[in-house]
């Protein structure tokens, strides 16, 4: 394995770590501040590894078929872990989570079909914009959690919650739009085959 793959795999390790840190205060009734700080660290490391693994692979000419498959898989696992945690405690609405789930598993299904036929379903602009809103959703979700668990900026709690709902809703909308785009590309590839 190369450095880029290690970074990609690190997201698969950090996802369950995020989950445990997220629920540790729920399970124990303590560690509210410490785990909140660690959640920010884990999320930052997850996002940094996502931003740099592909760049490192390209710069070192170490792009592999495994990396092409593992990178989006690691992204989905880590982000869905964030969103499941947020939905479980009422930060993210369940309707947003289900739209994200349907979109992500729909894309995995399309990629599997196309990969089986020898074609890669490359990232699209809509998918990249969606990824930006996934990142923003992670940040705002963790911000809501931070306010609620630590009491910091408690005067802004309502505003942060409203902003979170807006960002989550935009992420869900972009999920639908980007999924339609991917389906269109998939159908065109089927017609031309």
Domains of the chain by start residue, with CATH: 3-192 (1.20.120)
Higher per-residue pLDDT: 156 or 43: 43
Is the model's pLDDT at 11 over the cut of 90? yes
Is the model's pLDDT at 121 over the cut of 80? no
Backbone angles phi, psi at 93, to 5 degrees: -65, 145
CA 163/CA 159 separation, integer angstroms:
6
Higher per-residue pLDDT: 73 or 42: 42
| Other beta carbons less than 10 A from residue 34's beta carbon | 12
Closest CA to 175 of 144, 129, 136: 129
pLDDT at position 193, please?
60
- Which helix (H) or strand (E) is 152 found in, with range? none
Q: How confident is the model at residue 56 (pLDDT cuts 50, 70, 90)?
A: confident
Best-predicted range by mean pLDDT among 70-79, 142-151, 178-187?
Answer: 142-151
Model confidence pLDDT, tens digit, residues 153-192: 888 899 999 999 999 999 999 999 999 988 888 888 777 7
CA 103/CA 134 separation, integer angstroms:
13
Stated pTM of the model: 0.90
Which of these ranges, 60-64, 74-78, 163-167, has the smallest mean pLDDT? Answer: 60-64
Q: How confident is the model at residue 140 (pLDDT cuts 50, 70, 90)?
A: very high
Higher per-residue pLDDT: 122 or 108: 108
Mean pLDDT of the chain: 90
Is the model's pLDDT at 143 over the cut of 70? yes
- The mean pLDDT of 11-38, rounded to a whole number, is 96
pLDDT at position 81, please?
97
């Amino acid at each position: 394995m190369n450095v880029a793959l290690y970074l990609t795999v690190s997201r698969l390790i950090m996802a369950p770590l995020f989950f445990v840190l997220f629920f540790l205060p729920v399970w124990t009734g303590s560690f509210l501040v410490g785990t909140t700080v660690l959640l920010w660290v884990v999320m930052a490391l997850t996002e940094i590894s996502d931003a740099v693994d592909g760049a490192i692979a390209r710069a070192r000419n170490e792009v592999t078929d495994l990396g092409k498959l593992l990178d989006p898989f690691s992204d989905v696992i880590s982000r869905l872990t964030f969103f499941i945690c947020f939905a479980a405690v009422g930060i993210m609405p369940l309707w947003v989570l289900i739209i994200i789930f349907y979109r992500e598993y729909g894309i995995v299904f399309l990629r599997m079909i196309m990969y089986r036929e020898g074609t890669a379903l490359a990232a699209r602009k809509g998918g990249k914009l969606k990824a930006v809103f996934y990142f923003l959703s992670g940040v705002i979700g963790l911000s809501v959690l931070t306010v609620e668990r630590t009491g910091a900026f408690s005067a802004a709690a309502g505003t942060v919650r409203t902003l979170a709902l807006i960002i989550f809703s935009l992420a869900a909308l972009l999920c639908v739009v980007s999924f339609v785009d991917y389906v269109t590309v998939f159908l065109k590839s089927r017609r031309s085959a």
